[in-house]
Amino acid sequence: MPLTTAYQGEIPYLQILDPDGNLDESLAKGTLSDADVKHLYEHMILNREYDDSAFRLQRSGRLGTFPQCKGHEAAALGAARAMRKGHDYLVPYYRENPASFYHGLPMHYILMFWGGDERGNAIPRNISMSPLTIAIGTQGLHGVGHAWAFKYRKEDRVVVAFFGDGATSTGDIHEAMNWGSVLKAPIVFSCINNAWAISVPQDKQTGAETFAQKAIAYGMPGIRVDGNDIFAVYKAHRDAIENARKGNGPTLVESVTYRIADHTTADDARRYRPAGELEAAQKLDPMIRTRKYLETRKLWNDELEKKTWEKAKATVADVIAQADKVSPPDSDDIFNHTFEELPPDLIRQRDLRHTHSIGLNPEEIGLKPQPEEAAH
C-alpha cells in the first residue's frame, strides 16, 4: 500500500514594513494608526536611552547586572500594543522592559530590582503583569496557569507570555504549549527569537528551521513574523489575542529579531559572534525603519528626533533620581516575605544576626527568651 500523508502543516511569515520603511498598505489596513506608530517610536527612543543609562549605572557599580533590550523594541512593543491595557496580562521574562513600561510599570522599579532591591519586582496592583522571571522558561507554565484562572472565573482576559529562542529547549515551555493547547487556555506564546541564547546560536538550539513550526505539533496555529516590524508584530499578536479571547486557545508567534546588545552586562558577545553579523543586524534595527516610515508620512523630522531624545534623557534622569530616593531596605527585611507568618525559628535567626552569639544564652545577649528557656 502506498504511503499517504498523515498531516501537512505550514507556517506563514508576515512582514508589513520592510527594512527601508516601505509599508504593504493592504496588510497594514486596520492595524496601527499614524498616532500609534509615532507614540510607539517615542517609546523606542525612551527605551534605548534607558538601556544606555542602565548600562552606565552597572559599569559604575550601581546595578548588579542588567540585560539590555536593544533590538527587541518592536517585538516587545508591538505585542504590548496588541493587548488590552490593564485587562490582558503580560508575562515577561527579563528583556521586555518596553512592554512592561508600556503597560505602566514605573520605570525605576526595574532599576531597583537589578540594583538588588526585591521591592522592585513587587508589581503595583493596578498593573496587569507578573514579576520578571529569571529562571528560563518557567513563566510559560505560569502564563498557562494565569490563563486557566481567567478561564475558570469566566473573565475574557488573555495572557501574553514572552520567552526567548533558548527557552524553547526547556521542558517547561514544551509542557506549557502542550497543555495550554489541550486546555484551550487563553494565552499567546510570544517567542522572541533574537538569534542568540547567550553564546548559543539557533542551529545549536533546534534542528527545526523555525521556532514557530513547533506549534504544528502542539495542535495550535503558529506564525513567524519580522520582529523588527512593528506592524507585523502588532497584527500577529492582535489576531492571536482575539482568537484566544474567543475561546480558540493559544497561538505561537515567533518574532525574529536580533540581540544588538550583549546578553547582559556580564557578557561580551564579541567573543562568539561571527564577524559582520552585528553590523548586518544593525541595518535591520527596528528604530531605523520605523523612523523612515514616519518620515515618509511627514510625521517625523530631525527636530522631533532631537526633542524626543532630549525628553527621553530628562525622563530617564528623573527615573534614576527616583530610584536613588528609595530608602534602602533594613537588613532585617531580608526575612520578610519568606512566609506569610514568620515562624519562631526564623524570628530567632533574624534576631541573632545582631549578635555574634550562637544563641546558647539568649538572656545574656538581650534576646527575648523563648518560653521553654524562660521555665529554667
The cell for 164 is 526567548
Does 344 interact with another protein (rule: CB under 8 A)? Answer: yes
222-226 and 251-256 strand pairing: parallel
Q: Is 273 a catalytic residue?
A: no
Tell which one of 13, 42, 138, 326 touches another protein (CB under 8 A): 138
Catalytic residue among 56, 84, 119, 272: 272
Instruction: Examine the residue annotation and report whether 218 is marked as an active-site residue of this protein.
Output: no
**Nearest C-alpha neighbor of 99 from the set 63, 127, 122, 137:** 127
Query: Is 271 one of the binding residues for another protein (CB under 8 A)?
Result: no
Give the CA distances from residue 340 to residues 142, 336, 343, in Å, rounded to whole numbers and listed in that order: 21, 9, 9
Binding mask 152-171 for another protein (x = CB under 8 A): x------------------x
Please identify, using beta-carbon distances, which residue of 25 and 345 lies nearer to another protein.
345
Question: Can you tell me which residue has the cell 502588532?
Answer: 234
Q: Could you say whether residue 372 binds another protein (CB under 8 A)?
A: yes
Q: In whole angstroms, how close is the CB of 364 to another protein at the nearest point?
A: 14
Site size for another protein (CB under 8 A): 49
In contact, 173 and 137? CB cutoff 8 Å = yes
Q: Name the grid cell of 25.
A: 498598505
- The b-or-e profile of 196-231 (16+ CB within 10 A means b, else e) is bbeeeebeebeeeebbbbbbbebebbbbbbbbbbbb
- Select from 63-71, 173-181, 190-198, 226-234 the region that touches another protein (CB under 8 A): 173-181
- Among 22, 65, 338, 355, indicate the residue that binds another protein (CB under 8 A): 338
Within positions 81 to 120, which residues make up the interface with another protein, using CB under 8 A? 118-120
State yes or no: residue 121 binds another protein (CB under 8 A). yes
Contacts of 172 (CB under 8 A, 6+ apart): 137, 138, 140, 141
Asked if 62 interacts with another protein (CB under 8 A), we say no
Collapsed DSSP state (helix, strand, coil) of residue 5:
coil
Q: Which of 135, 280, 314, 317 binds another protein (CB under 8 A)?
A: 135
**7 belongs to the binding site for another protein (CB under 8 A):** no
The full DSSP string for 307-348 is: HHHHHHHHHHHHHHHHHHHSPPPPGGGGGTTSSSS--HHHHH
Type of residue at 116: G
> Cβ 157 to another protein, closest distance in Å?
9
Judged by CB under 8 A, the chain residues 279 through 318 that form the site for another protein are: none
Which CB atom, from 125 or from 325, has the smaller least distance to another protein?
125
Question: Does residue number 130 form part of the binding site for another protein (CB under 8 A)?
Answer: yes
| Closest distance of CB 123 from another protein, Å | 6
Question: Nearest approach, Cβ of 112 to another protein (angstroms)?
Answer: 9
Question: Site for another protein (CB under 8 A): which residue of 204, 266, 346, 363?
Answer: 346
What CA–CA distance (Å, rounded) separates 250 from 118?
32
Is residue 10 a contact point for another protein (CB under 8 A)?
no
**Cα separation of 113 and 121, whole Å?**
6
Annotated active-site residue in 103, 259, 289, 291:
259
- Give the list of residues 6+ apart from residue 275 with CB closer than 8 angstroms, or none: none
* Residue closer to another protein, measured from CB, 2 or 371: 371
Q: Let me know if 272 is a catalytic residue.
A: yes
Best CA proximity match to 126, nearest among 79, 99, 76, 89 = 89
Q: Site residues (CB under 8 A) for another protein?
A: 118-123, 125, 130-131, 134-135, 138, 140-150, 152, 171-172, 175-176, 178-179, 182, 336-340, 343-346, 358-360, 370-373, 375-376
Which residues are the active-site residues? 259, 263, 272
